[in-house]
Amino acid sequence: MSTLKLALVQLAVGAQKAANLARARSKVLEAAKAGANIVVLPECFNSPYGTQYFGQYAEEIDSAKPSTSIQALSEMARDSKVYLVGGSIPELERGTGDLFNTCTVWSPEGEMVAKHRKMHLFDIDIPGKIVFKESEVLKPGHTLTEFSTPWGKFGVAICYDMRFPEVAMVAARKGCVGMIYPGAFNQTTGPLHWELLLRARAADNQIFAAACSPALDKEATYHAWGHSTIVDPYARVVGTTAEAESIVYGTLDLDLVDEVRKSVPVSSQRRFDIYPDVAA
């Protein structure tokens, strides 16, 4: 199968978890009805984004004993028959009580096929603009994540992880055809870097790259950038939007990965005799 339809649900997220889950469900079903094969939700889709919220909204992730959001994600994937990259939720680890920012990925049968804990925590301080310190509340994950589909393997990472080129490079060198990033950039770094980073990850590695944000809520404490975007292996933007709630669609022709790699063969021209191979 060489083409697939990808949908990014730029969800309007509010303070009510049950309402967020219901809204996500209706948007995932809408995307599936429009023919999507893989549907993506944004970072922190069940909770407002902010360190003050993570503890209150956190859930354990155990598919044998599913909590509210985990049950909802499994049902969304199963009922819509899509691969679902379930954005992220604040995760509470049983035993330690540690909190993580975690993405789960679901098969069309409603089985959890991958779980990614954000590896690089969003700790920044841009004077006069934005201070954010995820590490005050969260712990980082320690593993790279990918999942298989009938169209090929995709790497998954979360938001600030996008800034670290090694993540996408290792995924591409392990055979992934795309990177998917649930994210929530802000009104300062969004216009500066969101599209640039996505296009860079795609150009460097000759893969698809997509990032899915929540919609902008001007009443919220964190102002998301929105602009959920899909980029192809030539680093062209093939789908994007502004800040309001919407669904961004892109038809991905997987043959393009080989075409780009044949046309501009940087993937086979690497000089690992000069610098070390980072492939795992």
Ligand X SMILES: O=C(O)CCC(=O)C(=O)O
Q: At residue 200, what are phi and psi to the nearest 5 degrees?
A: -65, -45
Q: Does 45 bind ligand X (CB under 6 A)?
A: no
Q: Which of 17, 43, 103, 243 is catalytic?
A: 43
Which part of the chain contacts ligand X (CB under 6 A), choosing from 168-176, 179-187, 227-235, 255-263? 179-187
Residue closer to ligand X, measured from CB, 31 or 159: 159
Residue closer to ligand X, measured from CB, 12 or 29: 12
Q: Does 151 bind ligand X (CB under 6 A)?
A: no
Min dist. Cβ of residue 208 to ligand X (A): 20
Min dist. Cβ of residue 225 to ligand X (A): 8
Of 72, 167, 184, 212, the one binding ligand X by CB under 6 A: 184
Min dist. Cβ of residue 202 to ligand X (A): 17
Q: Does 54 bind ligand X (CB under 6 A)?
A: no
Residue closer to ligand X, measured from CB, 124 or 237: 124
Distances (CA, A) of 82 to 5, 50, 109, 146, 238: 10, 29, 8, 17, 21
Does residue 118 carry a catalytic annotation? yes
Q: Does 163 bind ligand X (CB under 6 A)?
A: yes
Which part of the chain contacts ligand X (CB under 6 A), choosing from 7-15, 144-152, 178-186, 205-213? 178-186
Indicate the burial class of 166 (C-beta count within 10 angstroms; 0-12, 13-18, 19 or more): exposed
Which long-range contacts link 253-262 to residues 24+ away (Cβ below 8 Å)? Answer: 253/2, 253/3, 254/1, 254/2, 254/3, 254/4, 254/151, 254/152, 254/177, 255/2, 256/232, 257/152, 257/177, 257/206, 257/207, 257/208, 257/233, 259/233, 260/206, 260/233, 260/234, 261/206, 261/233
Q: At residue 199, what are phi and psi to the nearest 5 degrees?
A: -65, -35
Q: Looking at the chain, how many residues does it have?
A: 280
Min dist. Cβ of residue 274 to ligand X (A): 30
Does residue 30 carry a catalytic annotation? no
Min dist. Cβ of residue 195 to ligand X (A): 12
Residue closer to ligand X, measured from CB, 158 or 257: 158
**3 state DSSP class of 279:** coil
Does residue 159 carry a catalytic annotation? yes
Residue closer to ligand X, measured from CB, 16 or 135: 135
Distance between CA atoms of 213 and 267, rounded to whole angstroms? Answer: 29
Residues in region 192-251 near ligand X by CB under 6 A = 193
Min dist. Cβ of residue 198 to ligand X (A): 12
Distance between CA atoms of 157 and 168, rounded to whole angstroms? Answer: 9
Positions touching ligand X (CB under 6 A) are 43, 122, 159-160, 163, 184-186, 189, 193
Catalytic residues: 43, 118, 159
